[in-house]
Amino acid sequence: MKQATLYLFVLLAPAFTACRQDTDVDPDTEVVLVNSDFSSGTDGWTGGFTDYSIHQEGLMNFRFEHTTLPAPLNTNEKALLLSGKNASANMFMFVKRKISGLQPNTSYTLLFELEMASQYANNSVGIGGSPATSVYVKVGATPTEPVKVRNGDFYNLSIDKGNQSNRGRDMIVIGHVGAGDDVNEYRLIQRSNQGLPFTAITNDKGELWVIVGTDSGFEGITSLYYNTISITAL
């Protein structure tokens, strides 16, 4: 899967490089903005966690790591691991990255394509909800960096991501983390907003912050691996 994604990027890279040099990526031209397979590093992505109380911080067991895929998948391949224990019944785990070289104050329609490793069965049950179908995958983009902010005793996200199954102004829901019925080991799953257009407006420097994450109602440990993330301007 990674080889196919890389091949697509090689084909499109010359056009994208030219656009980046001119700092003038045309919003009317389809071009790959991000094509991360994490084979050699995080590729500029950083991790974060929100939607919990300051009193629960020691209970959440947050992890963000660049590490190998879990068995029985190919353990020679690297991915981004996000893991946490949902003590708040409303945990949000995310990765984010800045994209530069776009046209300033311009609207872009974005296609997100994700490959993730999940071990959670569609027909599973758990406290607060299913470990699969109550953990919602969200994608989005904003002209300002999404950051964790403290409101009283609670940590929120600085952008409008919505809550669990509900979309927000800055993020949309593109599915859940279920890997199929009766699954009991990690499998690769694909999620995309194909057919669900998402549009964001750049800042006056021609920048967008893109964000990918999961919004959980399952009151347990969720550990997910982002294997590839591709973002295309349509």
Query: How many Å separate Cα 172 from the centre of its chain?
Result: 11
Per-residue pLDDT, 129: 86
How far, in Å, CA of 164 to CA of 90, rounded?
A: 7
Count other C-beta atoms under 10 Å from residue 88's C-beta.
21
Whole-number Cα distances in Å, 4 to 17, 81, 140: 20, 22, 24
Per-residue pLDDT, 127: 87
How far, in Å, CA of 145 to CA of 127, rounded?
A: 33
What is the mean pLDDT of the segment spanning 134-153? 98
Question: Model confidence over 159-188: pLDDT tens digits?
Answer: 999 999 999 999 999 999 999 999 999 999
Q: Confirm if 133 and 214 have CB atoms less than 8 A apart.
A: no
Residue 214 has pLDDT above 90, yes or no: yes
pTM, rounded to two decimals: 0.88
Per-residue pLDDT, 145: 98
How far, in Å, CA of 44 to CA of 221, rounded?
A: 26
Per-residue pLDDT, 38: 98
Residue 15 has pLDDT above 70, yes or no: no
Question: Model confidence over 96-143: pLDDT tens digits?
Answer: 999 999 999 999 999 999 999 999 999 999 988 899 999 999 999 999
Question: What letter represents residue 23's amino acid?
Answer: T
Count other C-beta atoms under 10 Å from residue 98's C-beta.
12
Name the token pair of 44. 């500029």
Per-residue pLDDT, 1: 42
Name the token pair of 10. 């090689």
Residue 33 has pLDDT above 50, yes or no: yes
Per the model's pLDDT, the better-predicted residue between 16 and 29 turns out to be 29
Q: Phi and psi at residue 7, in whole multiples of 5°?
A: -65, -40
Q: What percent of the chain has pLDDT over 70?
A: 90
Per-residue pLDDT, 25: 82
Per-residue pLDDT, 164: 93
Per-residue pLDDT, 67: 98
Question: Model confidence over 39-93: pLDDT tens digits?
Answer: 999 999 999 999 999 999 899 999 999 999 999 999 999 999 999 999 999 999 9
Question: Which CATH architecture does the domain made up of 2-233 adopt?
Answer: Sandwich (2.60)
Chain-wide mean pLDDT for the chain?
A: 90
Per-residue pLDDT, 19: 34
Would you place residue 26 in the very low, low, confident or very high pLDDT band (cuts 50, 70, 90)?
A: confident
Per-residue pLDDT, 13: 33
Per this entry, what is the length of the chain?
Answer: 234
User: Residue 97: which of 207, 234, 225, 226 has the closest Cα?
Assistant: 207
Q: Confirm if 86 and 218 have CB atoms less than 8 A apart.
A: yes
